Each structure stands twice: as C-alpha cells, then as structure tokens.
Structure 1
Amino acid sequence: MKIGALLSKDSIRLNGKASGKKAVIDAMVLLMEKGNHLRDARRYKEAVFDREAQGSTGIGDGVAIPHAKTDAVKSPGLAAMTLPEGAEFESLDGQPAHLIFMIAAPDGGDNIHLEVLSRLSMLLMDDGFRQRLMAADSPERFLEIIDRAETEKFGPDGEGADKTEAREAFRILAVTACPTGIAHTYMAQEALERQAERMGYPVKVETNGSGGVKNRLTPGEIEAAECIIIAADKNVEMARFDGKRVIQARVADGIHKPEELIRQAVSGQAPVYHYHGSDGAGEAGEGLSRGLYKHLMNGVSHMLPFVIGGGILIALAFLLDDYQLDPANFGMNTPAAAFFKTVGGQAFGFMLPVLSGFIAMSIADRPGLAVGFVGGAVANAGYTFGNIMNYGETAPVSSGFLGALLAGFLAGYIVRFLQKIFNRLPESLEGMKPMLIYPVAGIGIMGFVMVLINPFVGAVNIGMNSVLASMGGTSKIVLGAVLGGMMSIDMGGPFNKAAYVFGTAALANEGFDIMAAVMAGGMVPPIAVALCATFFKNRFSAKERQSAYVNYIMGLSFISEGAIPYAAADPLRVIPSCIAGSAIAGALSMAFDCGLRAPHGGIFVIPTVSHPLQYLAAIAVGSVIGGVLMGLLKKPVNKN
C-alpha cells in the first residue's frame, strides 16, 4: 500500500486559511469526512484534541501532523491542507504551521497503514519535498509530488531497502517512540539516520510505533554498540541496556537535535545505565528523580490554569469591593465583587484535585485520573475516620497541598499495582478493567489511605503554615531572597517551578506575601537583560540587542523565560547577575510587606498588590542591580 491509497483528492485543500489550532483541526476533520474514513466525526475530533493535550503535534519547520487512533475511524486515511499565511499551532519551534497532514487510524485490525504513515513522516523531513507540496497548484499535482518522492525513496513497489541489514556492527543504536507511535516516532528515526549518515557513523534505529516494534535491536548489536540513544516519550524496554552508555531524550530532541545527540553518543561521556527492575522510561530509564519530576510537572502544568484563572478573578473581586461596607465580608460586598469571588473560588477549588489527578495520570495513564482526583479532593476536604464516624462532630484536618501531592503519587502507583494484579484476566473481561475494576478498587483504596493519613499529613501542613505565619523581620526577608533567587536559577526549570509552586500553594493559606516575592523574583531576569542591552550596548551583538528589548514586555508580564537565550549563551555571567537581582527584589518585597492575591499577571495585576508603589520599587531595584552586574561581568563583543 502506498501513501496515495490513503490520501484522495477530496481530502486535500490547497491555499486554506485558519485562525488557530482549533480552526485547523475542525477544517481537517471535515476533509477527513469527505474522504469517507470516519464512522463518528465528533468522537474522532475529540480523540485528536486528546492527543494534542499530551503534547502539540506541531513538529516545527511549518509542519503539523494531528492524528488519532480510535474506533471512531472506519478506515485508515489521510487529509492534507496547505496554509500559505500559516496558523498558530503551538509548534515545538514556536513558528506557525503551513503544511498540515491529518492521520486517522482505526483501533485494532491490520497495521500496514502505519508503515505508510511512517513513510510520509520520513518524507516530511526533506525541505525540498515540503516546498514542492506548498507550491502545488492542484490536488492532482500534490498527489503526484508525494508519489514521485515515495518512489525515489522506497522504490516502485514501495518496499524500500533496509539500510541497516548489510552491516554487522553499529557504533550507535537508537530507539524512538511517541505516545501514539504514528508520526513523531518515524520522524525521529529519519532525522537520526540522516544525521548519522552525514557524520559518517553507522547507526540502527528501532521504532516503537502503534504497529509494534520495528527494526528491533539484537543482543549482539547492543553488546557491540558504543552508546544507545533513547528518544522516547513513552515507556520502552530498558532491561536489555543494562551496563551500556545510554542517552535519555524526548522524541522531539530526536527530530530537532539529532546532531547534538549523536555527538554526545560518540564522545564517550554518556552515563552508564543500570536497570533497577522497571522498564518505565519515565523512572528507571530516565532516573528516579527525573521520572518523579515529570509526573509532578504533569500535575502542575494542568493545575496552573485553574490557579491563575481563579486567583486573578479573586484578586479582581478584592479590587472591585468596598472594604468599608463590611470588613468581615470583604470580597463579597458588591455584586461585581461577589460574582468574581464566587467564580474564582470555584476555579481555585479545583487546584488540588487537578494536581493529584494529573500526577496519577502521568504514572498510570487514564485509569489513574479518577483515582487521583478523588485522592486530591479527600486531602483538600480533610476527611478523617474521626470526622466520618462522628457524623462531622470532629473537625476535618485538611492536608492541603502536601496531601494532594502525596495523593497523586499514591493514586498512580495504586492503579499500577492493580494493573499488575488483574493483568491475567481473560481477554473477554478486558473492557471491565478501565470502566469498573480500576475506578472502583482504586477509588476505594485511595479513599481509605487518604482518610487514614490525613490527620498526620494535615498536622505537618498546619505546622508549616504556622511557621510561615510566625515568620517576621529577618526571617521573612531571607525567605523572600531565597524564593526570588530560585526564580532565576533556571528560569522555567525545576528550581523556578519549585519556587512558583510553593508560592501558589501559599495562596491557598493566604500567604500573599510569599506569592508577591515569587512574582517579583520572576519578573527581574528579562528586565535585567533588557536594561543591560540598553545601557551596555557593546556587551551584545546588534541582533541580540534587538531581541533583548522585547524582554521589557516579557519581564513586566512575568515571563521569566525571555532571559533564557541570554543565560544559555553566557551562563557564568548572566545567571549569577539575575539571581542577585531576583533575590534582592524578593527580599525587598518581603521587607515592604507586599502581598499579592493573584498567582500571575505581572504589572497588569499591580492594582491588586498591597503596597503597590513599594512593590514596583522592589522590582525596579532588583532589575537595575541585575542589569548593572550583568554589564560589569559581561565582556564587550568582538564587532568582527
């Protein structure tokens, strides 16, 4: 089967227009319907958006490949659209998408269509091929370009030649895999093979796609190889690599950073991998700490929209209210304030269940979601056996953020445990697992465990809040300096996220001063870079200066990542300067007793800050100190 067998003229639209990702997907689903590939267009579209929620299929270089594998598809198919003006697709490189291919794959059945789809993914790595498709003036010409490129690469029969079978030993081995195993898996394979060929290194790439493992690495090849590159966003079989040098990376790195991965592989500096009894790429394959961090960040990333949306609405409620009417009911005295406070409170109330639910989902996939949600809700409500058995006469003990965090990990591993126990059920009962066994058993066990441990975790939570509340003077200033400095250590990385999560968690317990220090620290790095480029022009190239000025806006909007390119280019001078400036901003915010009820927004939520003028002064002083230090530490650039 060739690509043309899956792509018909009716499913091709040239010179289309779309305003964003949703509009693009809506248009592509209609094209897929025209090709008569769908059994239920609505459910197929939902499956496509579910896949997008795992990570954008905008792979960069102007290409997006939205796809889904579901029983809503009655026959495998492709749809294609060109967008000369481009459309925002949340692509990995941040650029608009101009060439869209949508993939529809049915559940089960013959997987031969996946091989065809993998060929298309490989062809799209060629710049010339993409340009010819964009220039096509008719669907017939579009199909002709694909057919010619497929014939040149894979032969007239479409079988192609195995580029690796003639070799007896490979210096580098690789494994590629993405969550759905349809497009990114094979694009990473193609990128690694092409780059290795350019650099003169023999390589073999195993793909873990929806059709199973292809081009499997043999024990002899693994034994002889210098290094194995794992470019995967899902679990792969890792035990076979015990004792070998292994590089762990995302599948996107395999597509966009093949040269970097290959150079690291041949350098002899890659870490030696040791198998510890789990094949999970998320834990054993990447190291326990990185696996746990990935699970945590999955929960945090899904939690933040609720925290930010709800928190800013609550902050608006206080801004619009009149304290004099009823100080005890501040935030609910006027109709507008009551509306924003109520809606924001509802959104904010989802924070802990969402956090634990998506941590559990990261560990155990969808079966863990409901169990994690319930665990987070029970932790937030503070149910204990005393509270339940005494019909509410005993006060609940909320374990708060710590309890929800713990509930998320417990829920994920409870479901993983249940999956192993019920793994040997007959296939006829397979459908009962996600719909009956996992939710009933998982939620029951989760509820029992959380009700049991809530008093203990709640006591720790209350103790921490009491310590924070009792801080004063020097202690608070030191805390502000530490949190502000952490926001600049890696600007969006683990330290930054840890400080930010601490700040948002403090909001739930009215730790408004902590959130203020965190945001002040996060606003400093981009502003410091912009100030340095403005007043120390000879420290930057002309191109760097042009980009640096945008950091004024990014810093004022509390987008720390704007400083990352400059930190990456000169880390030994830029990062310490930013840390110093952020630490001073955080310390001054605490010293001025500033408080922030909104977890984001930068300068746009300044009206909601207590002591706003002092807060702006703290940010300004920190930014100036950071910018001046950067200017003194950086060396003038060579104009040549």
Structure 2
Amino acid sequence: MKLVDILTRDNIILNLQGNSQTAVIDELVDKLAQNGLTDNPEAFKKAIYKREQEISTAVGYGVAIPHAKSSTVPEPTIVMGRTLQGIDFGGQHTNLIFMIAAPENASNEHLALLSRLSTFLMSETFRAKLLVATSVDEVMKAIEEQDRLQEKDTTDEADSGKYLIGITACMTGIAHTYMAAESLKEAAEKRGMKVKIQTNGANGPENKLTAADIQKADAIVVAHDVRVDTSSLQGKRFIDVPVKKAISDADHLIDQALSYRIRDEKVEQAVQKQEPELEEEKTGLNFYKHIMSGVSYMIPFVVVGGIFIAISFMFGIYAADPESDQYNVIAHFFSQVGGEAAFALMVPILAGFIGYSIADKQGLAPAMIGGMVATIGGSGFLGGMIAGFVGGFAAKFIGKAMAKIPKSFQGLVSVLIVPLLSTLVVGAFMFFILNTPMSMLNQYLEAVLKGLTGINAALLGALLAGMMASDMGGPINKTASAFGLAMFAANIFEPSAALMVGGMVPPLGIALATTIFKNRFTIQEAEAGKASYVLGASFITEGAIPFAAADPLRIIPANIIGAAVGGAVCMALDISLKAPHGGIFVIPIASDKPLLYVGCILLGSIITCLIIGFLKKPIPEKDRNNVKKMSSVL
C-alpha cells in the first residue's frame, strides 16, 4: 500500500487555523468527518486524546503523528495539516501534523501506515518540500516521489546483500556522535546496503550491536574521539577513525571497510600497503583519543564540583568554615561534597581514564593513583595527564611482558603484579621526578594569570574564546578547553568564563542572524536557526556547524570575531565561572557577575549576527525556497 492511496488530496489542510494542539486536533478530526471517514468524530477524538495521554506523538523535526484505532473509522486513512507559524504539540514546536485513523481491527495496517509515514518524514528533503509547497498538487507530487524513492531504495537494498555496522562516539556524546552515524547511514543506503550504527551518546549506547549483527557484518566502521569498547568485535577487522572523518568521508571509509572482510594476514598486509594514510591517521589519533577519554570522564566531576562550591559561596564567603561567624551547615555540606570530594577526584579521574584508554582495566588503578600523587604533589591537571600516560603505558608494557606466564597464574598477574609494578613506576616517576618542577611551573602560571589585568587579560580572553569558536568542537576548540580545565583545577576560574562565551556565541549569533536577516538564508536555514537558540544557550557549539559548513568563508570569521570580543570583555571585567559547562543553566549560580556575564555573551552574539548580515548577500525570494543539504546536529 502506497501513502498516496490513503492520503488523498481532500484530506490535506495547508493552512491550519488552530493555534494550539487541541484546536488543531479538532480541525483534523472535523476534516475526517466532513469527508465521511468517521461516523462519530467525538468518539474518535477521545481515542486520539487517550493515545496522546500515554505519550506525546510529537516525533521531533517539527512533526507530530497523532494516531488511533476506532470502530468509528471504516478504513485506514491519513489527514495532513500544516501550520507555517507552528504550534506547541506535546512540548515541541510543530509545523506538520499527520493524523492516522485506523479501524479497530486493523492492527497490521495501522502499524504499517505509521512505519511508512515515519520513514518518509525522516527525510529532511521531503519535510522541506511539504513546508514550502504552495498547493495541494505540490504536496501530492512530493508524496508520490517519496513513494517511488522508497520502492527504489528497497529494491537496491535487496540486490546489494551487504551489511554495514559501526559505532560512533564523540567527547560530549551530543552532536558529532549522531552526525557521524547519519553520514555513514546515508552513504551505505545509497549503495543499497543494510546498516546499523551504535551511537555512544550522552545517555549511553543506543541501537546496540548484537552478536548476530557483528557476525553478519560485511563492513565495520568505528568512528570515535573517546575510547569505545570494541572487544565484542574480536575476530572482525574494522576501520578505526576520528568522528569527523566519518562525517566528511563516509564513502571512502565504507570502501575500505568492505576491503577488510578477510582477516588473513597476507590480505591485511596488502590492504595496509594500499591504504597507508589510514594507518598513519590512526597513529596520530591515539594520543588525542586517550586525552579526550580522560577529559570526558572528568567533566561531570568538574561541573558538579563547581556548581556545589558556587552554591556554598551563596551563603557567604566563609560560610563553610566551622570556625567562622558566617558558618552555615548547608554551605559546609555543599563545600565538602563539591570542593573536598568532587574537585579532589578531578585529576585522578582524568589520569585514571587516560590509563584505561591505553591499557584497559590494568591501566586504571596505576594511572589513577598517579593522578592522586600529582594532586598531592602540586602537579595539578598537567601532572595528572602525564601520570595517566605513564601509568597506562607502564601497565600495558608490563602486561605484555608477562603474557607468556602460564594461564593458571594470569589472574594473579592481572590483579596483583601488573597493578603493583606499574603503580611503583608511575608513583616513583611522579614523586621523585615530575612533581617538584611541575608544581613550580603551575605556581608560576597561576601567579601570571592572577596578575593579568586590563589589556593583557582581554587578549587572553579573546584568544581562548576565538579558539573555542574557530572549529566548533574540533582540535583547536578542545585545546582551548583543556587549558581552561587545567586552570580550573588550579582554582583559576576566569578562563572558564571566557571559554563558555566562545562556545555559546557562534550558535546564538547565527540564530539571531536568521531572525534579523531572514532574507540572507533559505527557509530551511531559517527554521534550523530556531534550534540554534536552544543549542547556543545550552553551550552546544556544534549548533553552528551546519551553517559554517554551508558558508565557511563568511560564518567562521563572524563566529571567531564575535566570540573573541565577548571573551575579551569577559576577562577584562574579571568575571569568573565556577562551572565550565551548562550554559544558561549554571550562570545564575556559578558566575560571580551573572548579569555582566550574560551581557558579554549577548555582545559577542550581536557582533557575530551583524557581521553575518553584512557579509551575506540577500537571497532572491524565489530562491529562498530551495533546499540546501544541512547536517543534522542532534
């Protein structure tokens, strides 16, 4: 059954009059009744509301699919409504509503309709065609074209017989993780391949690969900036690359992955000779991957510790000190949990998970202990990072050296000998060699940074914020973030403030530009700009990536200049931030000057917006409806 068989032109409303979820549902049900497709509209409406009470049928992307089965409906039917201004449907901004009405006993048809429609609406191009359609005929044409594409895709997939699986994981697990997965999926489906990508996002692994998936796979791609568990892939060769490689060059990666089907050593050597650049990239990736693994596990400790300490200070500067007249037990609680617990664990966690990334479980204990020695000895963040590498590589080397010991003693080796010897190595290195010079260096850097005022502070703020905005989650951005975390671990909180300005300004500035200078953007870009408000306010810099990718020569300089100005003013005003992540949600409690801080963010965003408006030329109205391919960031 095709979608055009059940969504007829009589069941399409291009200009919904309702401005609320209830009004729109009433309007769509009335349309069904007018066309004789339900003999009891009130009963069917109750069925729709009952379904909405279970869980909202808003599916994101500006789409909702309310649906219900009812004895008042003679045959499966869909009625479509569109509202260009949008409504709040189940807490989500929605422009397209498809109501599915199915008979009481039509379970298979009902599910098939829902599945087919959902598949269609995942296409960004299809949704855009529906939004810009000026007549019912254009809507029907778009649906017919999508039906044909679906049939073609199904045929191609059946002919291919190939199966791609993969895992994607970026440091924050928010944006690049899903962009990489989508890029691999699109490239594979164009070849008619079946595909399944596990995304290790912020909420944990989703779409997890099973043993059956791994067994059937013809090609495997693992794209990650942090450590991922690939033990389940043992016996299968796979492509191992940074996340951005999967986003930008998915086709090439799939070609390489398909050539890795056979694990025979001779074939492996031949492939390596044909593709030397991949192995070089993998070697270069490791150092960065180990650091990012440690940082990703460290960040929650930094955020929680910073917020708790900031809450403690709200009761008074000395309110956590039992000897002070200001003493408050609640302030003491927050100070102890945040400062004495969470902050004390930051550097050991960083070091431990760098070691874990290098040598798995055997590297965790020695590296973490080395990180604690770094904290005690004053080496701080940088010392902890070095401890992570020393502990991890020591454990890896000692573990390999003892690999030939009889299996009956392997348990003793892994739980006693390797941790003991590698801890001895990293502990001695930190205690006798590194701690003294590193603590002196840290003290010098702290003195210099605390002494920065006026123009010098402004220059540092401009540099850090500009780096954050330059590649929006890439290596330059991460380098600036690492510096900020090092200063944060040393209780210097001003760089963190400048860094968050640099991360929030690009998406907020672009969002403002799509609102103020609408004629510089396509309709699709203007719609995407609305999401950038939320992403920017939440300190998700990646919200700017689709716009930068579409017009890098104008957008990236505007981002950098706006962020640099905001960061410079922030540092010049000596604004601090005791929680380096969280955006607007942490500013009121974590910043010492929240209003001025928000002003710095707004200043940078407005400058970025004005530069974009000046550099981009207006798009003719007839061309604003043309759809540009933009990468999803969610």
Alignment of 1:52-451 (within 5 A): 135=111, 195-196=190-191, 231=222, 234=230, 248=241, 253=246, 258-259=250-251, 261=253, 286-321=281-316, 333-345=327-339, 346-382=341-377, 398-451=378-431
CA distance in 2, matches of 1:405, 1:368: 13
1:563 corresponding residue in structure 2: 544
CA distance in 2, matches of 1:593, 1:535: 31
1:170 corresponding residue in structure 2: none
Gap change, CA 1:320 and 1:287, over 3 Å in 2: same
Does residue 619 of the first structure (1) align with residue 601 of the second (2)? yes
Structure 2 counterpart SS, 1:549: helix
Q: Percent identity?
A: 38
TM-score, with normalisation over the residues of structure 1? 0.58
Shift of 1:197: 6.1
1:514 corresponding residue in structure 2: 495
Shift of 1:516: 1.6
Shift of 1:191: 8.9
CA distance in 2, matches of 1:518, 1:617: 15
Does residue 537 of the first structure (1) align with residue 518 of the second (2)? yes
1:632 corresponding residue in structure 2: 614
Shift of 1:613: 3.4
2:452 corresponding residue in structure 1: 471
CA distance in 2, matches of 1:416, 1:376: 17
CA distance in 2, matches of 1:439, 1:410: 13
Shift of 1:589: 0.7
Structure 1 counterpart SS, 2:402: helix
CA distance in 1, matches of 2:523, 2:165: 39
Shift of 1:355: 0.3
Q: Deviations over 1:533-553 (max 9, x none)?
A: 111001122232223123333
Gap change, CA 1:333 and 1:291, over 3 Å in 2: same
Gap change, CA 1:191 and 1:340, over 3 Å in 2: same
The amino acid across from 1:580 in the alignment is I
2:133 corresponding residue in structure 1: none
Gap change, CA 1:404 and 1:290, over 3 Å in 2: same
Greater helix percent: which structure? 2
From 545, 548, 566, give the equivalent of 2:529.
548
Shift of 1:189: 11
2:564 corresponding residue in structure 1: 583
Gap change, CA 1:359 and 1:580, over 3 Å in 2: same
Q: Deviations over 1:286-336 (max 9, x none)?
A: 34432111111100000000000111110111123266x799988973222
Shift of 1:561: 2.2
Structure 2 counterpart SS, 1:597: coil
The answer to which of 586-595 and 400-409 deviates more is: 586-595
Gap change, CA 1:518 and 1:247, over 3 Å in 2: closer
Say whether the 8 Å CA contact 1:176–1:189 is kept in structure 2: no
Q: Deviations over 1:467-492 (max 9, x none)?
A: 22232322211100000111111222
CA distance in 1, matches of 2:536, 2:442: 33
Structure 2 counterpart SS, 1:593: coil
The answer to which of 440-449 and 611-620 deviates more is: 611-620
Say whether the 8 Å CA contact 1:531–1:627 is kept in structure 2: yes
CA RMSD in angstroms, aligned pairs only: 4.9
Say whether the 8 Å CA contact 1:317–1:332 is kept in structure 2: no
Shift of 1:578: 0.8
TM-score, with normalisation over the residues of structure 2? 0.58
Gap change, CA 1:329 and 1:594, over 3 Å in 2: farther
CA distance in 2, matches of 1:635, 1:415: 58
Q: Deviations over 1:478-520 (max 9, x none)?
A: 1000001111112222222222232232123231222221122
Structure 2 counterpart SS, 1:295: helix
CA distance in 2, matches of 1:370, 1:600: 27
Gap change, CA 1:441 and 1:585, over 3 Å in 2: same
Gap change, CA 1:415 and 1:331, over 3 Å in 2: farther
Say whether the 8 Å CA contact 1:230–1:249 is kept in structure 2: no
CA distance in 1, matches of 2:528, 2:464: 28
1:489 corresponding residue in structure 2: 470
The amino acid across from 1:415 in the alignment is A
Say whether the 8 Å CA contact 1:248–1:285 is kept in structure 2: no
Gap change, CA 1:528 and 1:442, over 3 Å in 2: same
Say whether the 8 Å CA contact 1:312–1:599 is kept in structure 2: no
Structure 1, unmatched stretches of 5+, are 1-83, 97-130, 137-159, 165-173, 180-186, 199-207, 218-227, 267-272, 383-397
Q: Deviations over 1:88-111 (max 9, x none)?
A: 9xxxx9x99xxxxxxxxxxxxxxx
Shift of 1:378: 0.6
Q: Deviations over 1:14-70 (max 9, x none)?
A: xxxxxxxxxxxxxxxxxxxxxxxxxxxxxxxxxxxxxxxxxxxxxxxxxxxxxxxxx
Q: Deviations over 1:138-169 (max 9, x none)?
A: xxxxxxxxxxxxxxxxxxxxxx99979xxxxx
Say whether the 8 Å CA contact 1:521–1:582 is kept in structure 2: yes
The amino acid across from 1:406 in the alignment is I
Gap change, CA 1:535 and 1:177, over 3 Å in 2: closer
The amino acid across from 1:311 in the alignment is G
1:36 corresponding residue in structure 2: none
Q: Deviations over 1:193-250 (max 9, x none)?
A: 765468xxxxxxxxx9979998999xxxxxxxxxx9965665999xx99xxxx99466
Say whether the 8 Å CA contact 1:359–1:412 is kept in structure 2: yes
Structure 1 counterpart SS, 2:281: coil
Shift of 1:337: 1.5
2:588 corresponding residue in structure 1: 606
Gap change, CA 1:608 and 1:192, over 3 Å in 2: closer
Structure 2, unmatched stretches of 5+, are 1-53, 65-106, 113-157, 169-181, 194-208, 259-267, 623-634
Gap change, CA 1:625 and 1:282, over 3 Å in 2: same
Say whether the 8 Å CA contact 2:160–2:191 is kept in structure 1: no
Say whether the 8 Å CA contact 1:332–1:341 is kept in structure 2: no
Say whether the 8 Å CA contact 1:513–1:594 is kept in structure 2: yes
The amino acid across from 2:495 in the alignment is I
Q: Which has the higher contact order (CA 8 A, sep 6+)?
A: 2
Say whether the 8 Å CA contact 1:332–1:338 is kept in structure 2: no
Gap change, CA 1:295 and 1:487, over 3 Å in 2: same
The amino acid across from 2:338 in the alignment is G
Shift of 1:348: 1.5
Shift of 1:598: 2.4
Gap change, CA 1:524 and 1:191, over 3 Å in 2: closer
